[in-house]
A and B are shown apart, each in its own frame.
Chain A
Amino acid sequence: MRPNIKLASYLGSFVGVGLITLLLAPFQSQINSTSVSLFYLLLVLFIALFWGSGPALFASVLGVIALNFFFLPPLYTLSIAHPQNWVALAVFFTTALAVGQLSARAKRRAEEAERNQHEIERLYKELRDAFERASQAEALRQSEKLKSSLLDAVTHDLRTPLTSIKASITTLIDEARGHTDDSQPVSLDPESRFEMLEVINEETDRLNRFIGGLIELARIEAGELHLRRRWGTVDEIISTALARAQPLTQNHSLQVAIEAELPVVRVDESAVSEVVYTLVDNAVKYSHAGTTIRINARLDEASVEMSVEDEGKGIAPDLRERVFDKFFRATRDGDISTSQPPGTGMGLAIAKGIVEAHNGTIWIESGERGKGTRVVFTLPIGDEEPSG
C-alpha cells in the first residue's frame, strides 16, 4: 500500500468512528451500550475488509475510547463506574481485534489468490505465445528445408545431363581442332565420335523429358490439370500404355489379366494410360531382365482397380508414401543400395496427381508372397455428372 493511501485509510477510520459517535451520541439515554458497541464492531469489520488490519486495530482502539467516553457512565470521562462495563469494554475490544485480524487475513488471502490467478494466466499466455512462435518458426524452417531440397534435386537433375553433354561436346571440339588445349594430338575413331553424339542426343532428350515433367507437375499443383473425360474401356487404356512401353519391356515377360466384363469408365484415357505407362516403366527399371511384370485390372465395388507388379527388390514400407513426393527417389534418397536407374523422381508424383484428379487413390504394397513392388490405383467408374 502506498503511504498516502495508508494515511487516508487511517483518516477514514477516524472519520468513521467519529460519524457513528456523532449519530448515536444524541440517543445515549435511549439505546443501551451493547447496541452501540455492535455498531462500532460493524465499522471495524468493514474497515478490516477494505483497508486491512492496521486501520482496523486503530478503529478498535478509537471505538473503545469513544464507547467509554460517550456511552459508559460516568459519561464524558474515561473512567468506568460499573465493573461489568469493564468486562463489556474488554469483550468489545477483543472481539473488534479478532474480527479485524480475521477479516483482514481473509482479504489478504483473496488478494493473494487473485494475484496467483493473474500470474498463472500470464504464464499460460506467455507459454502459448512462445509455443506458437516456435511452431511457426519450425513450420517456416521445414518449408525452407523442403524448398532447398527440392531445388537441390532439380539442379542435380538438370546438371547431370548437362555434364555429360558438355564433356561430350568438348571432346568433339578437341577432335575437330585436331589437338587439345596444350597441343596434344587427339584422334577419335568413328565409333567413339558416334558415341559422343549419341550421348548428346540422349541427354538432351532426358533434359527435355525432365522439363516436360516439371511443367506437368506444376500444372497438377496449380490445379490446372484439365481432364478430358470420355467413356472408355480399361482394355484400350492398358493396351495403349503397353504399346508405348513396348521398347522398354522387351527383356521382361508381361502378364496382363483384365477381368472379364469390366464396366466402361468415364476418365481421361490418355492421362490414365500415362499412369499405367509410368508404372510399367518403373517396374522395368527396378527389376531384373527376364523377370515377370503383372498388370491386373478388376472391379472393386464402384471402382476399377488397376495394378502393376514387378519382381524387383521392393520398396521398404516406410518409403512407400514418400516415393509419391516429387523428386523423391528411393534408390537415391532412401538408402536402397543399388545403382540408380535414370529417372526424374517425378513419374509417381504425376501419376498420383492424375489419379487423384479422377477422385481415385494410389498406393504401394508388396507383391505376391511379400516380394517385389505392386503399385495399385483405383478409379471411380464415373456417373452422368462427372466432377471434372
Chain B
Amino acid sequence: MKSQAADDMNEKRRILVVDDEPQLTRVLRTGLTSRGYEVLTAADGIAGLDICNTWHPDLVITDLAMPNMDGLELCRRIRAASTVPIIVLSAKGEEKVKVQALDIGADDFVTKPFGIDELLARVRASLRRAPGQATGELDQAVLDLGDFHVDISSHSVTLRGNEIRLTPKEFDLLVFFIKHSGKVLTHHTLLAAVWGGDYVEQDQYLRVFVGNLRKKLETNPAEPKYILTEPWVGYRFNPSG
C-alpha cells in the first residue's frame, strides 16, 4: 500500500478489491489509489471476507471466478452482515453467475476487459448511493430526483413540470426505480419488489409494464433515456435522462 496523504483518513473512502489475478489487483490498487481511494486487495473470497469484516470498506469490487470462495458466495456472505455496495467484475460468458450475484445483492457489474474510467464511474455512483440507500427504503413522502418529482401520498408524478398519469402498478415500479436509481436491477428483483414472490418468473409482465412506463415517460420510447435496458440482466434507472 502506498502511504499517500495519510492524514485525511476521514476523507478517504475505502475500497476492497478481490481478484485471484495478481496483475489486475496490482493495477486496480494503483489506479484507485491515484484517485484518492484507500485500497486493500485479496486474492480469494475467504481473504476478502476477512478484510471486509475487520476493515469495513465503503465499497467492495470482486471477481466472480476465484478459488476457495467464489465471488457469488462472497456476495452472499457480505450481504448477510452488511449493506456495503458491491461491484462485480464479470466476463462475457459469465452472464448467469453475474445475474445470480446481482440477485443476491451485488449493486453493479463491470464487464472485463474494462477501462479504468468505466470502473471509476461505477464506483462513484455506488458510493453516492450508499449512505442510507443501500438498505433500499427511503421513507420520504416526496421524492425529488433528477427530472422527477414524486409525491407518494397523492400518487402523483411530475416529469420536468408535466404531470404524468400512471396506473398503481406503474407508479410502484417507477417509485422502486427512483429509490434505486443508478443501480442495476435484475428482472427477478423488480418482479419480487413490485409484484411479489409469485411473479418472479414472469419476465413478460415486467416487459409490458416497462414498455408502458417508457411510453409515458420517454420522449422516444425506442431509445429510452430514463429506463435503460441492461441486456439479459434487467434495467437501470437514470433519473436525469
| B219 CB–A CB distance under 8 Å | no
The B-contacting residues of A in range 324-360, CB under 8 angstroms, are 331-332, 336-340, 342
CB atoms of B34 and A175 under 8 A apart: yes
Tell me which of A164, A182, A202 has the highest count of chain B C-beta atoms within 10 A of its own C-beta.
A164
| A239 CB–B CB distance under 8 Å | no
Beyond the given pairs A163-B24, A196-B31, 16 more chain A to chain B contacts, judged by CB atoms under 8 angstroms and listed by A's residue number, are A156-B65, A160-B21, A163-B21, A163-B114, A164-B21, A164-B23, A164-B24, A167-B113, A167-B116, A168-B31, A170-B117, A174-B116, A180-B120, A192-B30, A331-B67, A332-B67
* Complex interface: chain B residues within 8 A of A184 (CB): 35, 120
A340–B21 Cα distance when bound, in Å, is 8
Chain B interface residues toward A at CB < 8 A:
2, 4, 20-24, 26-28, 30-31, 33-35, 43-44, 65, 67-68, 91-93, 112-117, 119-121, 124
CB atoms of A203 and B23 under 8 A apart: yes
CB atoms of B43 and A339 under 8 A apart: yes
CB atoms of B113 and A166 under 8 A apart: yes
CB atoms of B93 and A168 under 8 A apart: no
A236–B68 Cα distance when bound, in Å, is 41
CB atoms of A196 and B27 under 8 A apart: yes
| A181 CB–B CB distance under 8 Å | yes
A156–B31 Cα distance when bound, in Å, is 23
A337–B70 Cα distance when bound, in Å, is 11
* Complex interface: chain A residues within 8 A of B116 (CB): 167, 170-171, 174
CB atoms of B114 and A167 under 8 A apart: yes
Contact of A155 among B26, B67, B93 (CB under 8 A): B93
A187–B33 Cα distance when bound, in Å, is 10
CB atoms of A340 and B67 under 8 A apart: yes
CB atoms of A186 and B35 under 8 A apart: yes
Q: How far is the CB of B10 from chain A (nearest CB, A)?
A: 19
CB atoms of A199 and B27 under 8 A apart: yes
CB atoms of B112 and A163 under 8 A apart: yes
A192–B20 Cα distance when bound, in Å, is 21
CB atoms of B24 and A166 under 8 A apart: no
CB atoms of B24 and A171 under 8 A apart: no
CB atoms of B113 and A162 under 8 A apart: yes
* Complex interface: chain A residues within 8 A of B27 (CB): 164, 167-168, 171, 196, 199
- Which of chain B's residues has its CB closest to A335's CB? B67
CB atoms of B20 and A339 under 8 A apart: yes
1/0 per position for A190-204, CB-CB distance to B under 8 A?
001001100100110
A187–B5 Cα distance when bound, in Å, is 13
| A78 CB–B CB distance under 8 Å | no
A207–B104 Cα distance when bound, in Å, is 34
CB atoms of B67 and A338 under 8 A apart: yes
Q: How far is the CB of A63 from chain B (nearest CB, A)?
A: 81
* Complex interface: chain A residues within 8 A of B67 (CB): 331-332, 336-340
Q: List 8 A-B contacts (CB under 8 A).
A: A166-B114, A167-B24, A167-B115, A170-B115, A171-B27, A192-B2, A202-B23, A342-B22
* Complex interface: chain A residues within 8 A of B31 (CB): 167-168, 171, 196
CB atoms of B34 and A167 under 8 A apart: no
* Complex interface: chain B residues within 8 A of A196 (CB): 27, 30-31
Contact of B112 among A159, A170, A336 (CB under 8 A): A159
- Given the interface contacts A156-B91, A338-B67, A339-B20, does A166 sit within 8 Å of B34 by beta carbon? no
CB atoms of B117 and A167 under 8 A apart: no
Q: How far is the CB of B14 from chain A (nearest CB, A)?
A: 18
CB atoms of A161 and B115 under 8 A apart: no
A96–B123 Cα distance when bound, in Å, is 105
A159–B64 Cα distance when bound, in Å, is 14
* Complex interface: chain A residues within 8 A of B21 (CB): 160, 163-164
A163–B118 Cα distance when bound, in Å, is 13
A164–B23 Cα distance when bound, in Å, is 6
A171–B26 Cα distance when bound, in Å, is 12
1/0 per position for A250-283, CB-CB distance to B under 8 A?
0000000000000000000000000000000000
| A224 CB–B CB distance under 8 Å | no
| A106 CB–B CB distance under 8 Å | no
* Complex interface: chain A residues within 8 A of B23 (CB): 161, 164, 199, 202-203
CB atoms of A195 and B35 under 8 A apart: no
A182–B35 Cα distance when bound, in Å, is 12
The B-contacting residues of A in range 142-173, CB under 8 angstroms, are 152, 155-156, 159-168, 170-171
